Structure 1
């Protein structure tokens, strides 16, 4: 469990163009849109004239007429909303990482313009990202001031761990009886990613890889609603407490080692060990 620290604000490391963290597998993903094939102008104009029945000398359409399929300067440019949403998504990731790291201190109020200046962006994507965090319960809206980071105590953390256990433990035990060994072996890189993040004490990276591992396990159930609910509870359990020391590297390593041990037990279908590890994992989730 990630807890708060005494630092204020967002660390300078979140510079423009460096808001989001790289995927756990180290690969970048691109989505390229195929270039639209060009159409021969003469052929298009000829087809348009024939269909419209209007022709000028030289085979040109009459004034005001346009061949079908021919682009003009009046066509609207590609919408910019995609780019803005991309920035908002990066800011949202950065704010979530700052929450887990304790850099956004519980009880403190942060304004969108001030955070935008630190990130090197306008206040708009920051405000949009903060609104999303407010829906999730991570922050509270303070009229005319900004957003206050929610204050949470040990009791709330224990309650979240209890609810998560009620959902995930029965599902994992059921999967242990039915999922073949090779499917579990495919999750090994995700478990190792948690160990890597824990070894360097990167709490934000550990939180991300921890959720990725649990999502992958629960996805094998085929129940998308269960995966969504469990992931939201998991994210909320990673927010910092209002007081208390930051999570130690040793605690992160202990949790990460439970992931790899759990996979070993699942591969060998040792149900007794699976049950013991899963229950121990959630018992330690509220520390």
Structure 2
């Protein structure tokens, strides 16, 4: 089983094929503004006293400026939003194979493609480096990590050691009505697989697994399993094209597993989760 859209609000729009194989190293203006007072926002002095800049009391009102406390500027929130959208787009590009394993991409060049400065791209790439998807190349940019079948198999083995015992325990203890509410998540993986949207499938796949494991009540387990799952979704050196036909088969395992969990059929649950992790794709 794989994943869905990296940003919770859905997959951000970006131009397919917008990632250069050999990007230019030119820099774009950062467009950053100093932190602190919003341009045009008044500084208020002590109540009833002189303005710290030397203006007499009431001068700001005469200039039409506000002296009461104003809400904080939304710039930090906007910047975080941009960074999150860029991170989602980069993750989707990795899953789709648009960012090629072994190739180096510069933050300024990618920023130019997105129409943003290099800063949010660089921040998103640093996050991907922590996740193991890319490697930092000093003075050049970021190289997409090259992964082979052995690494994928190792990730699948570790995930199975964590998730399978938990799923079997939950199959014995969770009532059917709690499993039924996960039906839309399982169906979302089938929908994404049917249209061949690997990025949407990867996100919906992770969402389904995460929802199952959350029933354990162990937040640390959910976080560790989700991180391993994400790592398992980055493409192999050979790219994702050869595995695309497996998406529907993997998605059907989600719905079959959910049916078995609702029925509390432990034998079927054990067989399905074993096959699922053996397939190593979701």
State if a TM-score over 0.5 links the two structures. yes
Equivalence for 1:12 = 15
Unpaired runs of at least 5, structure 1: 3-9, 16-47, 53-61
Equivalence for 1:220 = 215
Equivalence for 1:92 = 87
Q: CA deviation at 1:137?
A: 1.1
1:266/1:77 CA distance change after superposition, 3 Å = closer
Q: CA deviation at 1:120?
A: 1.1
Equivalence for 2:161 = 166
TM-score (norm 1): 0.75
- 1:186-244: per-residue Cα shift (whole Å, max 9, x none)? 00000000000000011000000000000000000000000000000000000011125
The answer to which of 209-218 and 113-122 deviates more is 113-122
Superposition pairs of residues 58-207 of structure 1, within 5 angstroms: 63=57, 72=67, 77-207=72-202
Distance in structure 1 (CA, Å) of the matches to 2:185 and 2:178: 13
Alignment length (residue pairs): 234
TM-score (norm 2): 0.77
Distance in structure 2 (CA, Å) of the matches to 1:121 and 1:14: 17
Q: Give the root-mean-square deviation of aligned CA atoms.
A: 2.7
Question: Is the contact made by 1:191 and 1:259 (CA closer than 8 Å) also made in structure 2?
Answer: yes
Question: Is the contact made by 1:11 and 1:103 (CA closer than 8 Å) also made in structure 2?
Answer: no
**Structure ID, larger Rg:** 1
Distance in structure 2 (CA, Å) of the matches to 1:93 and 1:63: 50
Distance in structure 2 (CA, Å) of the matches to 1:65 and 1:119: 44
- Kindly report structure 1 stretches of 4+ aligned residues shifted beyond 6 Å: none
1:133/1:245 CA distance change after superposition, 3 Å = closer
Q: CA deviation at 1:248?
A: 4.0
User: Would you say 1:273 and 2:273 are equivalent positions?
Assistant: no
Q: CA deviation at 1:76?
A: 7.6
Describe the SS at the equivalent of 1:182: helix
Describe the SS at the equivalent of 1:140: strand
Q: CA deviation at 1:74?
A: 8.0
